[in-house]
Chains A and B, each alone.
Chain A
């Protein structure tokens, strides 16, 4: 089975440029999460969706960050304009629908470097 797919795996861009990160959750999963991981701040939840609807975006750091989930099989995280402090590894994770507590399945991450 294919796991969570993220693209690109690595992105290097210059300050001020727009960056778009992509995620394809596991088929059948209805919850999707975007995280950011840095040495300084650890793992931070940015936003999560349930049935394609954003539930909580309180972790989105600034208006420069936006996320969409146009359908059940695709989500994007966009940074415009990007800044050097956005450099981090960005993870997407998904969970299946269940009335029991279940695990999150993480993608391999996108390593973003903003110069």
Chain B
């Protein structure tokens, strides 16, 4: 079945540091890939997505590239801010009905 593996957290960075959160997946067919973000006390919200190989999703300075050859979708940001502190979930959809398989989430803490 489908699965998503993402790096264990928490990740603690200083403000303006470079961020990478690794994500790899296993899926049948050609899944679409997502990063969702959850701020404290809130539900998840879509951060970015990519629907086919070599696509790059980007939003709010974050970006991730769909790498079919390595089955990866790593999240990056060049300069993090304190307001980026949240839990980040990698996810995929390989079938109908919009069902999404989520990773376990990676908590990011950015300190001033």
**A33 CB, min distance to chain B CBs, angstroms:** 8
Contact indicator B89/A43 (Cβ below 8 Å): yes
Contact indicator A48/B105 (Cβ below 8 Å): no
- Which residues from B are CB-within-8-Å of A98? 98
Q: How large is the interface on B (under 10, 10 to 19, 20 to 34, 35 or more residues)?
A: 10 to 19
The CA-CA distance from A109 to B42 in the complex, in Å, is 7
A106: interface (CB < 8 Å): yes
Binary CB contact string for chain B from 90 to 104 against chain A (1 if under 8 A, 0 otherwise): 000100011110101
- Which residues from A are CB-within-8-Å of B105? 42-43
The CA-CA distance from A101 to B104 in the complex, in Å, is 21
Contact indicator A91/B98 (Cβ below 8 Å): no
B58: interface (CB < 8 Å): no
- Count of inter-chain pairs, beta carbons less than 8 A: 50
Binary CB contact string for chain A from 79 to 111 against chain B (1 if under 8 A, 0 otherwise): 000000000000101010010111111111100
- Which residues from B are CB-within-8-Å of A42? 102, 104-105
**A78 CB, min distance to chain B CBs, angstroms:** 21
The CA-CA distance from A113 to B40 in the complex, in Å, is 18
Contact indicator B99/A45 (Cβ below 8 Å): yes
The CA-CA distance from A104 to B89 in the complex, in Å, is 13
A56: interface (CB < 8 Å): yes
* Contact of A103 with B43 at beta-carbon distance under 8 Å, contacts A43-B105, A48-B99, A50-B97 already known: no
A31: interface (CB < 8 Å): yes
A33-B99, A42-B102, A43-B44 given; name 6 further pairs at CB < 8 Å. Answer: A42-B104, A56-B99, A101-B32, A105-B45, A106-B45, A107-B43
Question: Residues on B close to A: CB < 8 A?
Answer: 32, 34, 41-46, 49, 51, 89, 93, 97-100, 102, 104-105
Question: Residues on A close to B: CB < 8 A?
Answer: 4, 31, 33, 42-43, 45, 48, 50, 55-56, 91, 93, 95, 98, 100-109
